[in-house]
Amino acid sequence: MNEILTSKKESIITSVKETFNDVGKVTLFAARFFTEVLKPPYEMKEFIKQCYVIGYKSLPLVTITGFIMGLVLTLQSRPTLAEFGAESWLPSMVALSLIREIAPVITALICAGKVSSGIGAELGSMKVTEQIDAMEVSAINPFKYLVVTRILATTLMIPLLVIYADGIGIMGGYVGININSDVNFYRYTSQVIESITFLDIFPALIKTFFFGFFIGMIGCYKGFNAANGTESVGKAANSAVVTASLSIFIIDMLAVQITDLFF
Amino acid sequence: MQEKPTTDTTPISKSEAPVIEIKDLYKSFGKNEVLKGVTFSVKKGENLVVLGKSGSGKSIAIKCLVGLVSADKGIINVFGTDITKLNNNELNEIRIRIGFLFQNAALYDSMSVRENLGFTLKRHAKDLSAEDLENRIIDVLESVGLGEAIDKMPSELSGGMRKRIGLARTLILKPEIILYDEPTTGLDTITSREISELMMEIQKKNKTSSIIITHDMPCAKRTSDRIIILKDGVIHIEGTYEELEKSEDEWVRSFFI
């Protein structure tokens, strides 16, 4: 019995040590990003390509999920609001919920699944097939070409995708309201715009930059440090999604606390 | 033929000054000691073939030469400079003068053949015009006999073609040293012979020095000026192909059967 307890204790200590070790490595990886990002040469062409891949190519997915978010939120909220005779608040409630919380978190999670795993698998496969080594022996900095461009692209594109998802979600809300009643589009948008203030948009937008940064950084870290063998490519992609998704919730929790403190 | 030359510290005369000189190289991964004091040199224009069983540290030795793997101990002189003491920028200056052909060619999957070759060239020959760049890519591709593959993607190439394109990519910066990591592995006999002949052509034309890691004995016979065999992390024996083929050591002879 004692032996089992001791071995369990040891395995817990080992996994805690490994977690701290990983956190340390990710921190060093992030620090390397900040030291490399300002140094020339700047890989503008690759950065623009990544913005296209990460931003533009995610539009269909974000459109569908954004629309469904707005529609479902409206349909689910209507009965509760109707009970209190507050149906007229539906546009404001949907818009605020979407902008402050639902659109940023859901869009970031969708992108963690699509973008972070994609980056993890791509860089992991490049590592395994020695393409990253090939860059290094050609005196080209693979970190600058592969990592810096991808992290910058996700940091810039995720906020833009969230803003787009906000708009699409609000349109979904309009469709949702019109399933059961007849609301004029002008009246709906006026009510939405009147209910939103700068303090609703600003903190929500700021946190999306952090979401984007972590989605890119975790994908790159997992791929760039993939072990040898094809199995590690799958592990890198899978681990990138899980870690990026978890970090989105942690950042969201911290962002809500900080917003409450300052705004 | 010399037995165990790892302790050989005979100075080399200036006219024979080596372009690569490795002394007492040690490298281990955890408890696994891969290199335990390897010493060898390569003269200008010489082709050195490295043989040894899988896992004997051949690839690690040449990866140490270009700084892909950092040595635990030892001196690695390339063009007279100990690369273990260089910072990354200084090491890159040396890397530009060395070509490295990876076992699976390591072509960039997301780029066409033209982009694979231009990727390195654009970053190191910034004064080249777009026309000169294109001409240089075409010239190098024609020198490996694959001018028509310029717009193909790596996924459209056969194993032999990938090796040739990989070789073209190393040649585009006109290296003085080429390191070949199993250049004929996974290829049929005819393609292996073609790649070996191409390596010799390149060596004659560009007067490069080479280290060739291989398990392919016909390739070793065609390309080697000298052969070293690694065993248990040290150099077991050194000599020409003909000398080693007639070695009294049965283990050495087993490579030539």
The three-class DSSP label of residue B48 is: strand
End-to-end CA distance of chain A: 54
Mean of the per-residue pLDDT values for chain B? 89
Say if residues B81 and B67 touch (Cβ distance below 8 Å). no
Using alpha carbons, list the distances in angstroms from residue A170 to A76, A182, A223: 15, 16, 36
Burial class (CB in 10 A: 0-12, 13-18, 19+), A7: exposed
Tally Cβ neighbours within 10 Å of residue A61: 16
Residue B69 has pLDDT above 70, yes or no: yes
CB contact under 8 A, A140 and B107: no
CB contact under 8 A, A131 and B173: no
Q: How confident is the model at residue B242 (pLDDT cuts 50, 70, 90)?
A: very high
| Touching A: B residues 115-144, CB under 8 Å | 119-120, 123-124
Q: Once rounded to an integer, what is the mean pLDDT over residues B236-254?
A: 91
| Amino acid A75: pLDDT | 94
| Amino acid B16: pLDDT | 65
| Amino acid B206: pLDDT | 87
Residue A227 lies in a domain: yes
| Touching B: A residues 127-146, CB under 8 Å | 129-131, 133-134, 136-140
Which tokens in the block code for residue B147?
């001018």
Q: Once rounded to an integer, what is the mean pLDDT over residues B17-28?
A: 92
Residue with tokens 């002879």: B253
Q: How far is CA A42 from the centre of its chain?
A: 25
Q: How far apart are CA B176 and CA B72, in angstroms?
A: 26
Residue A155 lies in a domain: yes
Q: Which amino acid, A254? A: L
Say if residues B69 and B127 touch (Cβ distance below 8 Å). no
Percent of chain B residues topping a pLDDT of 70: 94
CB contact under 8 A, B124 and A139: yes
Q: What sign for the dihedral angle of Cα A199, A205, A209, A212?
A: positive
Tell me the residue range of the domain where A153 lies. 44-262
Closest-CA residue of chain A to B97: A138
| Amino acid B12: pLDDT | 40
Residue with tokens 């994609």: A118
Residue A92 lies in a domain: yes
Q: CB under 8 Å to B176, separation ≥6 — which residues? A: B19, B79, B97, B98, B208, B209
Residue A191 lies in a domain: yes
Which tokens in the block code for residue A105?
């978190």
CB contact under 8 A, A139 and B95: yes
A49 touches chain B (CB under 8 A): no
Residue B13 has pLDDT above 90, yes or no: no
Q: Looking at the DSSP assignment, which residues form a beta bridge with residue B130?
A: none
Give the pairing of strands B98-101 and B177-181. parallel
| Amino acid A251: pLDDT | 96
CB contact under 8 A, B107 and A131: yes
Query: Which residue ranges of chain A lie beneath pLDDT 70?
Result: 1
A18 touches chain B (CB under 8 A): no
Own/partner pairs, B146-152, CB within 8 angstroms, 24+ separation: B146/B113, B149/B113, B150/B112, B150/B113, B150/B114, B151/B112, B151/B113, B151/B114, B152/B112, B152/B113
Tally Cβ neighbours within 10 Å of residue A160: 16
| Amino acid B14: pLDDT | 37
Q: What fold characterizes domain B1-97+179-257?
A: Rossmann fold (3.40.50)
| Amino acid B125: pLDDT | 85
H or E element at residue B24: strand B18-29
H or E element at residue B141: helix B130-143
Residue B37 has pLDDT above 70, yes or no: yes
The three-class DSSP label of residue B245 is: helix
Mutate to test the interface with A, among B120, B162, B172, B178 (most CBs of A within 10 A): B120
Q: How far apart are CA B167 and CA B223, in angstroms?
A: 15
Q: How confident is the model at residue B8 (pLDDT cuts 50, 70, 90)?
A: very low
Where in chain B are the domains?
1-97+179-257, 101-174
Tally of residues, chain A = 263
CB contact under 8 A, B173 and A130: no
Say if residues B122 and A153 touch (Cβ distance below 8 Å). no
Q: Once rounded to an integer, what is the mean pLDDT over residues B3-22?
A: 57
Chain B contact set for A134 (CB, 8 A):
100, 102, 106-108, 169
CB contact under 8 A, A138 and B107: no
Own/partner pairs, B185-190, CB within 8 angstroms, 24+ separation: B185/B103, B185/B214, B185/B215, B185/B216, B186/B104, B186/B159, B187/B159, B187/B160, B187/B163, B188/B160, B189/B218
Tell me: the pLDDT tens digits for B53-66? Answer: 988 899 999 999 99
| Amino acid A68: pLDDT | 96
| Amino acid B7: pLDDT | 38
CB contact under 8 A, A130 and B66: no
Q: Once rounded to an integer, what is the mean pLDDT over residues B93-109?
A: 93
Residue with tokens 């896992």: B55
Residue A72 lies in a domain: yes
Residue A36 lies in a domain: no
Q: CB under 8 Å to B210, separation ≥6 — which residues? A: B42, B46, B47, B48, B177, B178, B179, B180, B199, B203, B223
Q: CB under 8 Å to A71, separation ≥6 — which residues? A: A172, A173, A175, A176
Residue with tokens 């409450």: A260
Lowest-confidence range among A173-187, A199-213, B2-16, B17-31? Answer: B2-16
Q: How confident is the model at residue B212 (pLDDT cuts 50, 70, 90)?
A: very high
| Amino acid A263: pLDDT | 72
Domain count, chain A: 1
| Amino acid A67: pLDDT | 97
